[in-house]
């Protein structure tokens, strides 16, 4: 049996960082990976989706400035856009990431890992060979999620697109129907529409991006409409079938209509990849999300040995937060290995507490949307006495200089009892870059009177911060 201090199951962003930080603190670590080192993020999620979105955004940026607009007359070149995406993903070739593990002194065992009781992981290789790994200090489950499919008759028989096909396809479908109204649905609708697809979004709810500030969904709805995407709110697909001869798909909806398209993308959420992870061997239920404390220790299992990091714990399903949790988890494991308890609650390096109050999220639609912290509604529901202020970013000089048709909104949620920002939502060009300023304010709990002295440069879009503080009354 091979023994390591830390056995990591899943080599996505979470697993790579846990292992890297563990080795950096003097522990030994092995990563078990069933598919490609780098995980969903590198090959079928963040990286390819942003690679598909960037050319359309760059084109739109140029076309938003008079004098430049007139020079950009052609549509995107899909073949080049897809080839550029492939340069980022290597079409799933993980040699570079596997080499990184090797260079960092992290062992890699390829195969499907399953818990086999406390501190043991049994790995089944592609050739059926089985190897058991033992963890001296910790087993860290970083197995991520897989797409959840909506209950639509026939969906499992048509070769439905999930995030995997939507980010790796080699041809642009003429007509794409997207089921869903969340981040993945909005981004992929934007990307494929920019590449020439005729796109229809079927949204069960009455708004996009529910859970965000309402202005986020409203702005993205308008932006998708401007791009020529058809959005049907309050409509669900009930049945789909692919024609054997034409290969077209007919989508029947619950309002009695039918749509014909070439591909259907299901983007309605994720479920944890825990069904075949040996959870029952340690008293957990297969298929469940793994609840953890701030050090990412699985709360339902006794002892200090089982952790779950990244999407699989459902705390903040984003790559940067997965890596943040990974840094915290590795620090906690090292701390406990040194005989110290790794108590949380005071922003220690082993505490991933920002998950709960300051997770930033960027949506690369047109307009872009970004947020950090609590929405006004969530803050009120949490019992905070908050006041929200809004400002139109287009009224900032730097924004008007940036783009002739700049359109954006900024909303701050201020905890009145402490005089600090607890949430911020931005829409418009560069919102995804601007949000980090808000993250610093939220995490730093910077009093507004102090923030007043953080003077944004003229003429930048960041001057919206000054306007927001003035709107608040400073």
Ligand X SMILES: Cc1cc2nc3c(=O)[nH]c(=O)nc-3n(C[C@H](O)[C@H](O)[C@H](O)COP(=O)(O)OP(=O)(O)OC[C@H]3O[C@@H](n4cnc5c(N)ncnc54)[C@H](O)[C@@H]3O)c2cc1C
CB of 123 to ligand X, least distance (A): 7
By CB under 6 A, the residues from 204 to 243 that bind ligand X are none
The region that residue 280 occupies, defined by phi over 0 for left and psi between -120 and 50 for alpha, beta otherwise, is alpha
Give the interface segment with ligand X, choosing from 143-151, 248-256, 423-431, 442-450 (CB under 6 A): 143-151
Residue among 309, 347, 344, 351 nearest 326 (CA): 309
Least spacing, CB of residue 95 vs ligand X, in Å: 15
Give φ, ψ of 335 to 5 degrees: -60, -45
306 binds ligand X (CB under 6 A): no
Interface residue with ligand X among 8, 18, 19, 32 (CB under 6 A) is: 32
338 to 377: interface string for ligand X, x by CB under 6 A: ----------------------------------------
Q: Does 322 bind ligand X (CB under 6 A)?
A: yes
Q: For residues 161 and 406, which CB has a smaller minimum distance to ligand X in the complex?
A: 161
Lookup result for tokens 């919102």? 431
**What minimum distance in Å lies between the beta carbon of 40 and ligand X?**
4
Residue nearer to ligand X on the CB measure, 37 or 396: 37
H/E stretch holding 7 reads strand 2-9
Strand bridging mode 258-261 / 249-253 = antiparallel
Decide if 372 contacts 404 (C-beta within 8 A): no
Q: Which of 4, 13, 384, 448 binds ligand X (CB under 6 A)?
A: 13
Going from the C-alpha of 58 to that of each of 42, 65, 82, the distances in angstroms are 22, 12, 15
Residues 6+ apart with CB under 8 A from 286: 274, 275, 276, 277, 279, 280
Residues 6+ apart with CB under 8 A from 416: 385, 386, 387
120 lines the binding site for ligand X (CB under 6 A): no
> Could you tell me which stretch among 11-19, 153-161, 222-230, 389-397 binds ligand X (CB under 6 A)?
11-19
- Complex with ligand X: residue 253 or 319, whichever CB lies closer: 319
- Of 34-42, 130-138, 239-247, 420-428: span binding ligand X (CB under 6 A): 34-42
Q: Binding string, 176-205, against ligand X, x = CB under 6 A?
A: --------x---------------------
Total residues in contact with ligand X, by rule CB under 6 A: 37
Quote the tokens at residue 106: 């992290």
Residue among 5, 219, 311, 355 that touches ligand X (CB under 6 A) = 311
User: What are the φ/ψ torsions at residue 431 (nearest 5 degrees)?
Assistant: -55, -35
- Tell me if residue 220 falls in helix, strand or coil: helix
Binding status of residue 407 toward ligand X by CB under 6 A: no
CA nearest 427: which of 371, 360, 358?
371
Residues 220/363, Cβ–Cβ less than 8 Å: yes
154 in contact with ligand X (CB under 6 A): no
**CB hemisphere CA count around 361 (13 angstroms):** 22
Binding region for ligand X (CB under 6 A)? 9-15, 32-35, 39-41, 45-46, 49-50, 112-113, 142-145, 163, 167, 184, 273, 277, 310-312, 317-320, 322
């Amino acid at each position: 049996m091979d023994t390591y201090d830390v056995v990591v199951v899943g080599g996505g962003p979470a697993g790579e960082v846990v292992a890297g930080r563990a080795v950096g603190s003097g522990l030994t670590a092995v990563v078990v990976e069933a598919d490609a080192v780098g995980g969903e993020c590198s090959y079928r999620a963040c990286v390819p989706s942003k690679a598909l979105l960037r050319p359309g955004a760059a084109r739109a940026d140029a076309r938003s400035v008079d004098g430049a607009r007139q020079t950009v007359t052609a549509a995107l070149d899909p073949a080049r856009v897809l080839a550029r995406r492939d340069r980022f993903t290597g079409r799933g070739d993980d040699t570079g990431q596997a080499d990184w593990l090797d260079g960092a002194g992290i062992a890699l065992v390829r195969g499907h890992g399953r818990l086999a009781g406390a501190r043991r992981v049994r790995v089944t290789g592609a050739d059926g060979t089985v190897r058991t790994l033992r963890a001296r200090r910790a087993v860290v489950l970083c197995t991520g999620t897989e797409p959840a499919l909506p209950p639509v008759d026939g969906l499992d028989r048509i070769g439905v697109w999930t995030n995997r096909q939507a980010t790796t396809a080699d041809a642009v479908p003429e007509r794409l129907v997207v089921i869903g109204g969340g981040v993945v649905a909005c981004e992929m609708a934007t990307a494929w529409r920019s590449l020439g697809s005729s796109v229809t979004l079927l949204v069960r709810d009455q708004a996009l991006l529910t859970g965000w500030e309402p202005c986020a969904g409203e702005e993205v709805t308008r932006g998708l409409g401007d791009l020529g995407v058809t959005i049907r709110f309050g409509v669900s697909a009930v049945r789909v079938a692919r024609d054997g001869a034409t290969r077209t798909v007919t989508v029947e909806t619950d309002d009695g209509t039918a749509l014909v398209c070439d591909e259907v993308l299901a983007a309605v959420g994720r479920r944890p990849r825990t069904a075949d992870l040996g959870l029952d061997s340690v008293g957990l239920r297969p298929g469940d999300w793994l609840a953890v404390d701030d050090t990412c220790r699985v709360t339902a299992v006794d002892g200090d040995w089982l952790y779950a990091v990244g999407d699989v714990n459902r705390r903040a399903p984003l790559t940067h937060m997965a890596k943040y949790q990974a840094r915290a988890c590795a620090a906690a494991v090292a701390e406990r290995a040194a005989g110290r308890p790794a108590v949380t609650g005071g922003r220690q390096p082993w505490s991933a507490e920002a998950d709960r109050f300051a997770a930033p999220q960027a949506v690369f639609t047109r307009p872009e949307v970004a947020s950090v912290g609590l929405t006004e509604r969530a803050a009120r529901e949490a019992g905070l006495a908050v006041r929200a202020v809004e400002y139109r970013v287009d009224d900032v000089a730097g924004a008007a200089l940036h783009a002739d048709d700049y359109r954006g909104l900024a909303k701050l949620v201020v905890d009145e009892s402490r005089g600090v920002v607890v949430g911020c939502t931005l829409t418009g060009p560069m919102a995804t870059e601007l949000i980090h300023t808000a993250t610093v304010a939220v995490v730093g709990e910077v009093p507004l009177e102090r923030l007043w002295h953080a003077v944004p440069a003229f003429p930048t879009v960041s001057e919206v911060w000054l306007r927001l503080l003035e709107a608040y009354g400073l």
